[in-house]
Amino acid sequence: MRFGEAAIKLRAELILQAGAVIFLFAFFAFFAGKGLWAGFTGDDLMNLHQYMKQGFAGVVLSMLCFWSTAFRPLGGLFYLTLYNIFGFNPFPFRIVCFILLLANLYLAYRFIVRLSSSRATGVLAALLLCYHAWFVDLYYSSGTVYDLLCFFFYYSAFIYYLKIRDAEHRAVKNWIIFLVLYLCALNAKEMAVTLPLFIAIYEISYHMPRWSVRGLWRWIVDRGTGFLLSGLATIAYIFGKLLLKGSLIENPAYRLNIKPTIFLDSFHLYLNPLFYQDHVFRDPNTIQLMVVMLAFAIWRRSRHLLFSWFFLLLSGLPVFFMAHHSAFFMYIPSVGWALYIAGTIAEFGQMLKGLQSRLFGKRISSPHVSMLFQVAVFCAMAVFLALVHPDESRKTLAHFQKGQLPIMEMSREIKQLQPDLPRGSSVYFANDPYPADDWGLLFLTRLLYHDMTLDVGRGKPGAVLAAKPVRYHAAFDYRNGHFVAISPPEPNDP
């Protein structure tokens, strides 16, 4: 290729890359952008209240003791830092979450390019990952920051591992950085425990060691440091999370039921929303789909398709055996699906080139033709997604909002009625929109006034935090969907 042609090709590639970045950002902003102005959710109140009671020192100590039963301490740093700087204002929380969403999209792109050795595959996969209607919680709730942080550090650790793994000289500090990134992912959410498994699968898929004692030993000494470090950390983490007192699995929603049938049921349960289907995938056709996908990867002798097949199949293991299911739990595994789909499209492109060569006796090798094909596929995929996203988005957003109370509206009304309260005050609610057995009103009131010593009494029959015979500093009632101020009940009132 002459110098002038190379310059033209490079310029065209740079223009297309810039255009793809602008389009992906606009596509993401169009479908998910409204979530930037979302308020706090019930999960946010519960999480923030818990971390406020624990304090910065407790959260940092929990991060260092990553095997402890402390609940996702990295999320605690997120909540405490922003709350102590900005107060009861959801906007800074949403800004950080959206920065993480965009950073994660970039990390997914880099990860896929690294595995597939194809920028075109990475760009197409980024389009698939740019927005998913069933991940609505990621766009509208800061309570999913655990998934965002876990994704960020999980793929940062994996990408960093791939970088130092192929380096000629691997300093100790590089492995320390890798381990810190992985521990951050573990401190964000339990989904990160699969990283050592996929480091091993990557090594087998891309750098098959010799299956002998000497060959395996040489691999462990020369290339197995990342697997050993992350594996030992994972063993300690799992031991603490499952066996220590106060572990997460004591909560029935997170209790594990490990059976092959449960795995298959959960897999197709998540598969339906991933592909915007309603009970289409069941056990038989799910098995058929996975067999066909595996056969295609083996037939094409594609390392990245084989790796992505294992990844999309096994990366959901931490949640497949739980009774609690939410579609956004597939945020990390979705990268495997995007890699497989984009990689398969690229394989079909290569097959078409080969077919054209056999039919016409020559292959069109012009880089412009290849570039036009990639642009056409990207545009076709973008149009398809732009047509299917809106209906699913309306459905999932309505479902999400149905389960949320108007927390920000309620907090503004309470603040307008009672701008300030002395520290350690008592507040009474004759009626409120929370269920009787819900602690949300306590969380809301304490966080709103930034006072963890506030006492809250409720007049709702059977409510937790029932009215107590004390003198209240402020009292509210809830009428026709709004809070109103009332006279505080006297200490001896029933």
95 & 198 share domain: yes
Neighbours of 469 (CB within 10 A): 11
375 & 480 share domain: no
Domain boundary among 402, 428, 462: 402
| pLDDT in the model for residue 289 | 96
Residue 342 in any domain: the answer is no
Q: In whole angstroms, what is the distance from residue 424 CA to residue 446 CA?
A: 10
User: At 429, is the secondary structure helix, strand, or coil?
Assistant: strand
Residue 270 in any domain: the answer is no
Contact call for residues 200 and 229 (beta carbons, < 8 A)? no
**Structural domain count of the chain:** 2
Which residues have C-beta within 8 Å of that of residue 4, sequence separation ≥ 6?
none
User: At 484, is the secondary structure helix, strand, or coil?
Assistant: strand
Judged by phi (left if over 0) then psi (alpha if -120 to 50, else beta), residue 465 lies in left
48 & 118 share domain: yes
Residue 319 in any domain: the answer is no
383 & 441 share domain: no
393 & 422 share domain: no
Residue 475 in any domain: the answer is yes
Residue 333 in any domain: the answer is no
Per-residue pLDDT of the chain (494 residues; tens, 9 = 90+): 555 555 666 677 778 888 899 999 999 999 999 999 999 999 999 999 999 999 999 999 999 999 999 999 999 999 999 999 999 999 999 999 999 999 999 999 999 999 999 999 999 999 999 999 999 999 999 999 999 999 999 999 999 999 998 876 678 899 999 999 999 999 999 999 999 999 999 998 998 767 777 777 777 766 788 899 999 999 999 999 888 877 767 777 677 778 888 899 999 999 999 999 988 999 999 999 999 999 999 999 999 999 999 999 999 998 888 877 789 999 999 999 999 999 999 999 888 877 766 666 555 555 667 788 889 999 999 999 999 999 999 999 999 999 889 999 999 999 999 999 999 999 999 999 999 999 999 999 999 999 999 999 999 988 988 877 678 999 999 999 999 999 988 775 54
390 & 416 share domain: no
Residue 459 in any domain: the answer is yes
375 & 433 share domain: no
Domain boundary among 402, 418, 453: 402
382 & 458 share domain: no
| pLDDT in the model for residue 13 | 73
Domain boundary among 402, 426, 446: 402
Q: In whole angstroms, what is the distance from residue 222 CA to residue 193 CA?
A: 23
102 & 201 share domain: yes
Domain with 427, as residue range(s), is: 407-485
Residue 24 in any domain: the answer is yes
Threshold 0.75, pTM exceeds: yes
Contact call for residues 74 and 184 (beta carbons, < 8 A)? yes
106 & 173 share domain: yes
| pLDDT in the model for residue 363 | 54
391 & 448 share domain: no
Strand partners, 457: 428
DSSP track, 98-161: HHHHHHHHHHHHHHHHHHHS-HHHHHHHHHHHH--GGGHHHHH-GGGHHHHHHHHHHHHHHHHH
456 & 373 share domain: no
Residue 492 in any domain: the answer is no
